[in-house]
Structure 1
Amino acid sequence: MSLYLQLKMAPKSQRDRSGTEPKIKFYFSVHCPFNNRLEYTALRSDLIDSIDRMCVQLGLTA
């Protein structure tokens, strides 16, 4: 069983039970179009920061 959340700012979150283990796994994805490799390199760290902020807001910091 999975639960998908579409957040207001467009990132997606998915929550899954973990088989027989008593834990919950979270999967995050973000999207931003780019036209070339240079744009990708510049955007990549921003997208990773966005996921990190979501984790902090949800109290999922390691």
Structure 2
Amino acid sequence: MELGRTRVLCDAAVRMRQQAQMDIALARMVRLHALRMRLQEERANHVNDCEDSDGCRNL
């Protein structure tokens, strides 16, 4: 009886660990996406600034 309970607890711990790993991976992907969007916005702002000042040679 105790062995069955240990097995159930072990299975639950494995599922919780897998879920935590997926949550971490998702958080990393969201952070990476946000960084990409920020970089894209900064590049667009740089291009706009350069166009406003008669061209830019450092794109």
TM range (shorter): 0.3 to 0.5
Higher relative contact order (CA 8 A, sep 6+): 1
Q: TM-score, normalised by structure 2?
A: 0.39
> Which has the larger Rg?
2
Q: TM-score, normalised by structure 1?
A: 0.37
User: Which structure's residues are more often strand, by fraction?
Assistant: 1
User: Which structure's residues are more often helix, by fraction?
Assistant: 2
